[in-house]
Chain A
Amino acid sequence: MTKKTKKDDTKATNFSGMSGAKVFEKMLRDQGVEVLFGYPGGVLLPIFDELHDSKIKFILTRHEQGACHMADAYARSTGKTGTVIATSGPGATNLITGLATANMDSVPMVAITGQVKSSLIGNDAFQEADVTGITRPVTKHNFLVKDVKDLGRIIKEAFYIASSGRPGPVLVDIPVDATTALLDGEPDMEMALPGYKPRGGKGNERQIKLAAKAINDAERPVLYVGGGVILSGASDVLREVAIKGNIPTTTTLMGLGAFDESHPLSLKMLGMHGTAYANHAVQACDCLISVGARFEDRVTGDLTKFAPHAKIIHLDIDPASISKNVMVDIPLVGDAKCILEQMLPHIKDGKREAWIKQIDGWKKKFPLTYKAEGKIKPQEVCEMLGKLTDHDAIIATGVGQHQMWTAQFYGWKKPRQIITSGGLGTMGFGVPAAIGAQFGNPDKLVVDIDGDGSFSMTMVEIITSVQNNLPTKFIVLDNDYLGMVRQWQQLFYNKRYSATPHKCPDFTLIAKGFGAEARTVTDRSELEDAMKEMINSKGTYVLHVRVEPEENVFPMVAAGKALDDMIHGELI
């Protein structure tokens, strides 16, 4: 997990006499917070007064949901803990989608909410909401600060919980009187978490040897890699294990970038819209090694028919993930990097020629493909962006067809490259996510590949990008439909396009209104030029691409079908 970069100097500080708001600002700096996303409000006035002169950079968004996704993407792209602040009542409830998004994808994040005066709590006061009650199911943990003397300790605990073990969002609800009150004497800053024992570190050596033996004995092993590998920084050792054992490797959506897709052992993504060769390999394998993944339904298809011949090894930091969805033969609990490092010396050099040959056959028979004819195809935009950026940009996405095409066609090389909402599938994530990632990576090219539906939900944050002179790029793949739902209607509901035709505004005009550069492309002949113009532009840029309206994402495993029961496009 992420290590604290800054030294904890709270012990040396004299807190006595400080206001809660001052303690708050100081504790955030001690936790290494450099950027804080959010939106002010009545009960936050004391805190915002402290932030006015603070070294912490405060980023004002246009909606709290945007702030929450930015903090989330900042964390995903840097590995640091993201921080967001919102006021009581509606400010706090606007965070819910962002918290749930981060919670499902195990993102380290601390959310601060203002709360009404403690004496008013429970009275239905103005802008009051039971925020700890509402956020309990969508956070790793939450706190209500009842006394200014607890504030510093709780912030410390919040950051520790958010970033350790299986990371997740932690919310701290602070009544306004706790920020105005002055500390009388030195508070106890010692963390008091007797019930929190994050797993991590090394795994059980005997289990690891058992797992290594199962891998060595296997003729047809597959590595199935999830976001846990990225969280743990295990990509390098994972690559060594895969190469040493000659083990074909597939990743989940969250695991994209954990294994270089240009490597011959890469099977790219598996699951509902994964490659056919990854899905066939999983169904045919005799040993499935899951690393930091959780056998989610979009990955496994029909669970009863999932990987029927495989001995299943499951490496996860969260014991509750093990045998939750599939029964596991060899569980390994601990940090992915540590355990893979322990395992590496026990992995024998593998050839597995027959298996590799079989997989190469599938790769030849079922490539990811599309026809670059007629209107611009969304796939070619994703593929072209990959080539033009040397597969090195940070790519954010919304949710839907464009997200799957991005996952399939960009060509992922490195961890923390794709910033996407996997578990919750939050439309509207892309725009704020790209901005949040840009704040964490000021010198990198960050591009949001978005759909017209997702983009419309949160495009107001373009102004946040412009206000901060960010060079962030936004590509809108516009097909005039809520495409993924339309695809399902086409395939399973007799083409009855209920509520999916989507009238779009003039996106370039809107983008220009926000002060961004913008261009619309409708013809293939202009596409490359427009993409290059976008990449080379200095500021915020919105590239609006009109694409084939009824293009579908293939291959596809229909909900409830076995993983190798795929619908292919007409080209296969």
Chain B
Amino acid sequence: MKHVISAIVQNESGVLAHVAGMFAARGYNIDSLVVGRTEDERFSRMTIVVIGDDRILEQVRKQLEKLITVVRVRDFLGADCLLRDLMLIRVHALPDKRTEITSLVDLFRGRVVDVSKSSIMVELAGTEEKLEAFIDLVRPYGIRELARTGVIAMQRGQTTTSDNEEK
């Protein structure tokens, strides 16, 4: 099962090494990992997608919480939350195929951000499933290059990640 874990960590050098090292040492596979700033400059947010059964994830969560530089951890599985992945994809597109592809881009509410003689670059954000669906549809045209940010997550409503943690 895919779990999205959000960790608020201290914004210090070495923190990523602590987190990545813990995953490596215990043999947990990271599907994606995103690090970025938060509203508070002292902290960063890591959003980690991990695949594993509930027991492994329970260990991942506990081991993350054990790290001194990790302030809060939350598993978004089952929570009412928004998940977003951002993708840049360059698709092979000779002029005769451009319209076909751009109509797909429109259907997925993506944006064409660059056009060259033989390809177009598309920016698309959404859930991982949406991105996968788009990739499947444009694959027959030929994918030249693809980059994704990995998933970030936030809960709907008024509660924040910090509110959810028991004090």
A interface residues (Cβ-Cβ under 8 A, vs B): 132-133, 136-137, 140-141, 144, 161, 193-196, 318-320, 323-324, 327
- Which partner residue on chain B sits nearest A166 by CB separation? B66
User: Which of A137, A195, A318 sits near B21, CB closer than 8 Å?
Assistant: A137
Inside 8 A of A327's CB, which chain B residues have their CB? 55
Kindly list 18 other residue pairs between chains A and B, CB separation below 8 angstroms, not including A320-B62, A324-B59, A327-B55.
A132-B14, A133-B17, A136-B17, A136-B18, A136-B21, A141-B68, A141-B69, A161-B68, A194-B42, A195-B67, A195-B69, A196-B68, A318-B66, A319-B62, A319-B65, A320-B59, A320-B66, A323-B55
Which residues, 1 to 53 on B, are CB-close (under 8 Å) to A? 9-10, 13-14, 17-18, 21, 25, 42-43
Inside 8 A of B66's CB, which chain A residues have their CB? 318, 320
Q: Knowing A133-B17, A136-B17, A323-B58 touch, does A195 contact B9 (C-beta < 8 A)?
A: yes
- Return A173 CB to nearest CB of chain B, in Å: 11
Inside 8 A of A193's CB, which chain B residues have their CB? 68
- Most chain A beta-carbon neighbours within 10 Å: one of B58, B67, B68: B68
Q: Knowing A132-B14, A323-B55 touch, does A137 contact B62 (C-beta < 8 A)?
A: no
Inside 8 A of A136's CB, which chain B residues have their CB? 17-18, 21
Q: Knowing A136-B17, A161-B68, A320-B66 touch, does A194 contact B10 (C-beta < 8 A)?
A: yes
- The answer to the question of B63 belonging to the interface, with a C-beta cut-off of 8 Å to chain A, is yes
Inside 8 A of B25's CB, which chain A residues have their CB? 137
- The answer to the question of B71 belonging to the interface, with a C-beta cut-off of 8 Å to chain A, is yes
- The answer to the question of B89 belonging to the interface, with a C-beta cut-off of 8 Å to chain A, is no
Q: Which 9 A-B pairs have the closest CB atoms?
A: A320-B62, A195-B71, A141-B68, A196-B68, A194-B71, A195-B70, A137-B25, A136-B21, A319-B62
- Which partner residue on chain A sits nearest B43 by CB separation? A194
Which residues, 79 to 132 on B, are CB-close (under 8 Å) to A? none
Complex Cα gap A101–B70 (Å)? 24
Number of inter-chain CB pairs below 8 Å? 39
Complex Cα gap A401–B142 (Å)? 65
User: Which of A195, A319, A323 sits near B68, CB closer than 8 Å?
Assistant: A195
11 CB contacts below 8 A, A to B, read A133-B17, A137-B21, A161-B68, A193-B68, A194-B10, A195-B10, A195-B67, A195-B70, A320-B59, A320-B66, A324-B59
- Return A111 CB to nearest CB of chain B, in Å: 15
Complex Cα gap A327–B63 (Å)? 17
Complex Cα gap A355–B70 (Å)? 47
- Return B106 CB to nearest CB of chain A, in Å: 45
Inside 8 A of B68's CB, which chain A residues have their CB? 140-141, 161, 193, 195-196
- Return B12 CB to nearest CB of chain A, in Å: 10
Inside 8 A of B71's CB, which chain A residues have their CB? 194-195
Complex Cα gap A2–B167 (Å)? 24
Inside 8 A of A324's CB, which chain B residues have their CB? 59
Complex Cα gap A209–B30 (Å)? 39
Inside 8 A of A196's CB, which chain B residues have their CB? 68
- Return B73 CB to nearest CB of chain A, in Å: 10
Complex Cα gap A193–B67 (Å)? 11
B62 near A144 (CB under 8 angstroms)?
A: no
- Return B165 CB to nearest CB of chain A, in Å: 10
Inside 8 A of A133's CB, which chain B residues have their CB? 17
Inside 8 A of B21's CB, which chain A residues have their CB? 136-137
User: Which of B42, B63, B72 sits near A320, CB closer than 8 Å?
Assistant: B63
- Which partner residue on chain B sits nearest A197 by CB separation? B65
- Which partner residue on chain A sits nearest B73 by CB separation? A195
Inside 8 A of A195's CB, which chain B residues have their CB? 9-10, 67-72
Complex Cα gap A69–B158 (Å)? 52
- Return B121 CB to nearest CB of chain A, in Å: 36
Complex Cα gap A141–B66 (Å)? 10
Inside 8 A of A141's CB, which chain B residues have their CB? 68-69
Inside 8 A of B18's CB, which chain A residues have their CB? 136
- Which partner residue on chain A sits nearest B67 by CB separation? A195
Complex Cα gap A360–B10 (Å)? 56
- Return A110 CB to nearest CB of chain B, in Å: 14
Complex Cα gap A320–B26 (Å)? 12
Inside 8 A of A140's CB, which chain B residues have their CB? 68
A144 near B63 (CB under 8 angstroms)?
A: no
- Return B82 CB to nearest CB of chain A, in Å: 25
Complex Cα gap A141–B14 (Å)? 11
- Return A133 CB to nearest CB of chain B, in Å: 7
Inside 8 A of A194's CB, which chain B residues have their CB? 10, 42-43, 71
Complex Cα gap A320–B22 (Å)? 13
- Return A52 CB to nearest CB of chain B, in Å: 33
- Which partner residue on chain B sits nearest A142 by CB separation? B14
Inside 8 A of B13's CB, which chain A residues have their CB? 144
Complex Cα gap A132–B69 (Å)? 14
- Which partner residue on chain B sits nearest A140 by CB separation? B68
Complex Cα gap A324–B43 (Å)? 29
Inside 8 A of B72's CB, which chain A residues have their CB? 195
Inside 8 A of B59's CB, which chain A residues have their CB? 320, 324
Inside 8 A of B67's CB, which chain A residues have their CB? 195
Complex Cα gap A133–B16 (Å)? 11
Inside 8 A of A318's CB, which chain B residues have their CB? 66
Complex Cα gap A133–B18 (Å)? 9
- Return B48 CB to nearest CB of chain A, in Å: 16
- Which partner residue on chain B sits nearest A327 by CB separation? B55
- Most chain A beta-carbon neighbours within 10 Å: one of B9, B14, B43: B14
Complex Cα gap A195–B17 (Å)? 16
- Return A151 CB to nearest CB of chain B, in Å: 16
Inside 8 A of A161's CB, which chain B residues have their CB? 68
- Return B31 CB to nearest CB of chain A, in Å: 22
- Most chain B beta-carbon neighbours within 10 Å: one of A133, A144, A320: A320
- Which partner residue on chain B sits nearest A132 by CB separation? B14
Inside 8 A of B70's CB, which chain A residues have their CB? 195
Complex Cα gap A193–B69 (Å)? 7
Inside 8 A of B17's CB, which chain A residues have their CB? 133, 136
Complex Cα gap A136–B24 (Å)? 12
- Return B58 CB to nearest CB of chain A, in Å: 7
- Return A88 CB to nearest CB of chain B, in Å: 18
Inside 8 A of B43's CB, which chain A residues have their CB? 194
- Most chain A beta-carbon neighbours within 10 Å: one of B25, B62, B65: B62
- Return A475 CB to nearest CB of chain B, in Å: 37
Contact with A along B133-166 (1 / 0, CB 8 A): 0000000000000000000000000000000000
Complex Cα gap A216–B71 (Å)? 39
Inside 8 A of B55's CB, which chain A residues have their CB? 323, 327
